[in-house]
A and B are shown apart, each in its own frame.
Chain A
Amino acid sequence: MSFVQGLKCRECKREYPIAPLHVCEDCFGPLEVEYDYDGIRQSVSREKIASRAHNLWRYRELLPIEEEPRVGLYSGFTPLIRARRLGEALGVEEIYLKDDSVNHPTFSYKDRVVSVAISKAIEFGYETVSCASTGNLANSVSAHAASAGLNCYVFIPEGLEEGKIVGSAIYGPRTIAIKGTYDDVNRLCSEIGDKYQWAFVNVNLRPYYSEGAKTHAFEVAEQLGWKLPRHIVVGSAGGTILPKLAKGFKELREVGLVGRDEPCSIYSAQAAGCSPIIDALKKGTDVVDPVKPNTIATSIAIGNPADGYYVIQAVKESGGWGENVTDDEILDGIKLLASTEGIFTEPAGGTEIAVTRKLIEQGRIPRDESIVVSITGNGYKTIETVAHIIDRPYSIDAALGTFDALYDELSQGSSEKARAG
């Protein structure tokens, strides 16, 4: 059974029935799913959750679907990794990685929100699904649409990495590349969504879609033995995930799955080339002025974040903070994660690592308290971004003597001569 009560405007509190609506007619505020938390508290338990399959639907009492889930049966429940070597490098005692770079099926946190949105789209009877995307979302919508047999249109900005383009196209959607930035894609999709009767997962299905992001928080808590980390760092693009982590933690306290007073400070990570939220945070305002993005971190290059205001609210309420890092620091973050933990993340993940390092060095995050870093995307989709910072293969003839000579050179550290390309 479902515990969903309806939709409610976050700003003016006007209530709406469950429908493909995302904006309050009165004040344009975003609509939010409301639940019967008393009912959930009586129905849910740690044991009940533990008995269910390892996917994001194990928290279904706190997700906005009425029928059985239709997609995402292998999505979520990504590893939470105790990162000892990264911890040593950063000089902290207890750090974990919530690794959504291996989320099923398209290797980013987006498989969470899309699982919920597409299940909801099927409940509403849509035959065509769509999205405005910086890449990962388009990948996930395309894959889930294929598995559900739905028509699919995805809209992306021109100039995305090849891995992100192919990573949608292979599933057979119509991919439309817009000449402009993500913010241009967004504006167009809002107008297309008004005209065409499609399920736009991050437009008219946004209230349902964004609820899927809470499962990232639920899993972190469950994997820590139903405890909250003292600190969690996550990237901010449009600003969906961070406020939803806050909501997820709050719900866990509310329904008694974690202790009522467990604190968790939340930190926002952005690229210096696109950090409207961090700029506002540092200025001490909650008015997020849009910027023109210029960063290698394409998946978080959103200059006009819809939920930026709520990111700032959630950061402040939780006692957290935020930082931005340069493209060079992002590349260092990618390399650091790869070389210490064997995890290859995209620039958004490099941003999350680099910002964590910066906040630790600033003393914002204490070295002796538990930290989770959310790794939201996979580096195999953005290989061109790091192509210039890796060691190219040594190209040699298939002769033992040649290798012996190379090995001698490598052992002595003078390796440049034999290197190819």
Chain B
Amino acid sequence: MSVRVRVPTPLRKFTQGSDEVDANGATVSAMLDDLEQNHPGIKERIMDENGKVRRFVNVYVNGDDIRFLKNVDTALKDGDSISIVPAIAGGM
């Protein structure tokens, strides 16, 4: 599965400054492994040592938070759009 990944500013040093890169993988987890192959160092910024997405990182597949889907086991299909977004304050 080839998907498009939007890269937030803090991670662009791993993607030679690109704000969008392509990646492959049948699931979010596999896609992150693939991302790591091509952009070494990026995965540990997104996931902790236990393979869980870090507390202050949100990952979206086509705009849906993966915590409402199957988390890192969420299946991907060709052309999906992935966003990696730091948590943001707001409200009230």
Contact = CB atoms under 8 A, between A and B. Distances in A.
Contacts of A348: 92
Interface string B69-92: 000000000000001011111111
A190 B92 contact: no
Given A28-B56, A187-B58, A240 B65 contact: no
Nearest to B11: A25
A335 interface: no
Contacts, number: 114
B88 A299 contact: no
A187 B65 CA distance: 10
Contact of B86 (A28, A184, A238): A28
A29 B65 CA distance: 19
Sorting the interface of chain A by its residue count into under 10, 10 to 19, 20 to 34 or 35 or more gives: 35 or more
Given A29-B56, A304-B58, A184 B89 contact: no
Contact of B10 (A24, A307, A377): A24
A307 B19 CA distance: 26
Given A24-B10, A25-B10, A26-B45, A134 B89 contact: no
Sorting the interface of chain B by its residue count into under 10, 10 to 19, 20 to 34 or 35 or more gives: 20 to 34
B90 A238 contact: yes
Nearest to B56: A28
B91 A184 contact: no
B90 A137 contact: yes
Interface stretch (A52-60, A80-88, A203-211): A203-211
B86 A241 contact: no
B92 A206 contact: no
8 tightest A-B CB contacts, nearest first: A237-B91, A306-B87, A237-B92, A28-B56, A23-B86, A238-B91, A302-B91, A238-B90
Interface of A: 11, 22-30, 108-110, 131-134, 136-137, 180, 182-184, 186-187, 189-191, 194-195, 202-203, 206, 209-210, 235, 237-241, 287, 289-290, 292, 299-302, 304-307, 309, 348, 376-377
